[in-house]
Structure 1
Amino acid sequence: MTMNPADAMPFSKLMGVRVTAASAEAVEGEITVREDLCTAGGIMHGGAIMAFADALGAVGAVASLPDGAGGTTTIESKTNFLGAAPVGSTVKGRSLPLKSGRRMSVWQTMIETAEGKPVAVVIQTQLVL
């Protein structure tokens, strides 16, 4: 992969989301937990975790668009927080499609530390535009 697909989304680029693999079957990525992505306690903010997962699911949704579709937008997202990611660590995500269709797709993203400890699981629904 030559271009980082997350760079097409300005907020994801600002956060430092790096997509390491992308297809209609799976998307993988990582992000370094910077201080400006943290809560006062020095752990990755829940909103940053959700935004990271949303970016990975969006890349997958775009990769699985039917012919002639104009893009996607998130219409629902649910997150379960499972553990902390401290400042300075690398967080990895893997997003898999639960459903891909003409009108919508549903993606589940597992977020974990580089050591494999769970941070969150996110399920999002993407509307095909």
Structure 2
Amino acid sequence: MFSLLIINRNLRNLQQISCRLLSSLSKNYICDSSVIEAYHTNPQLKSIIDRQEHQFYYHADSKIKQELPSVFKQISSGSHSPKKPYYLTNSTSENTIDHTTSNKISIDEFIKITPWNDRGKGKFPGLIGMEILSMSHDYVSCQLKIREELLAPNGYLHAGVVVTLADTACGYGCMYSKPSKAKSFTTIELKSNFIGTAKAQAVLTCEARLIHQGKTTQVWDAQMYTIDFILAHVPRLR
């Protein structure tokens, strides 16, 4: 009975952590008219939006030509926009969203990174709250919000979290950039240089870049930083 109580308690703790993770990864997307139109014509986009893992908004004065699905919430004229919004748009459309606006993502990029974020669900990357922001042949950008559970006993970010973020970012990049005949990969060397640290509530960003691509090996370089300073540098050989 004592063991059962411990197991049930641990399960409740894991469920609470999972709920916090889902909440932290959920985003507010402000959409232009091209997104509404693409929702009706692009099955991939529709399936992602219909999962309702994120909140999708549109301005009342948007030039909407299609019937508005219930998954899109209206922002009426004069009302406040949702907190920390991302702007989802068709990269080729001419809309009112300023092209200099930060946190803007195209429909194509949104569709591309979603399966990679899905890979981490229920696995270690999902457990620490890692989120892919951008991905291309030789570049991966990701981030996580530092929570209390990720701290070392001294109250600062555990070094293992930094290495995990770098290792996973480089690994995803290697998978995305591997030769067509390659089936998988494994790490053969990893070195980390720690320059600073961070505390809870800070957002840790990782940028991984492909430095060298050979026939059987790739060399990736990752840099971790917060808005205040660089935390670590991780050169890696695969």
Per the TM superposition, whether the score is higher than 0.5 is yes
1:74 to 183, 187, 202: 187
Contact 1:97–1:106, Cα closer than 8 Å, also in 2: yes
The structure with the greater share of residues assigned to strand is 1
Sequence identity of aligned pairs in percent?
Answer: 26
Contact 1:4–1:19, Cα closer than 8 Å, also in 2: no
User: How far is 1:27 from its partner?
Assistant: 0.5
Q: Which residue of 1 aligns with 2:235?
A: 123
Mapped to 1, the partners of 2:235 and 2:191 lie a distance apart of: 5
Contact 1:27–1:57, Cα closer than 8 Å, also in 2: yes
Could you list the runs of 5+ residues in structure 1 that have no partner in the other structure? none
Query: Measured at CA, do residues 40 and 83 of structure 1 come closer, stay the same or move farther in structure 2, by a change above 3 Å?
Result: same
The structure with the greater share of residues assigned to helix is 2
Structure index of larger Rg: 2
Query: Measured at CA, do residues 42 and 4 of structure 1 come closer, stay the same or move farther in structure 2, by a change above 3 Å?
Result: farther
**Whose RCO is larger (CA < 8 A, sep 6+)?**
1
Q: Which residue of 1 aligns with 2:167?
A: 54
Q: Which runs of structure 1 show a deviation greater than 3 angstroms over 4 or more consecutive aligned residues?
A: none
Mapped to 2, the partners of 1:26 and 1:91 lie a distance apart of: 17
Contact 1:39–1:45, Cα closer than 8 Å, also in 2: yes
Contact 1:80–1:122, Cα closer than 8 Å, also in 2: yes
User: How far is 1:70 from its partner?
Assistant: 0.8
Query: Is structure 2 residue 125 aligned with structure 1 residue 12?
Result: yes
Query: Measured at CA, do residues 22 and 75 of structure 1 come closer, stay the same or move farther in structure 2, by a change above 3 Å?
Result: same
User: How far is 1:15 from its partner?
Assistant: 1.0
Mapped to 2, the partners of 1:19 and 1:51 lie a distance apart of: 14
Q: Note the aligned Cα RMSD (angstroms).
A: 1.3
Q: How many equivalent residue pairs?
A: 125
User: How far is 1:71 from its partner?
Assistant: 1.4
Q: Which residue of 1 aligns with 2:202?
A: 89
- TM-score, normalising length from structure 1? 0.90
Mapped to 2, the partners of 1:7 and 1:41 lie a distance apart of: 32
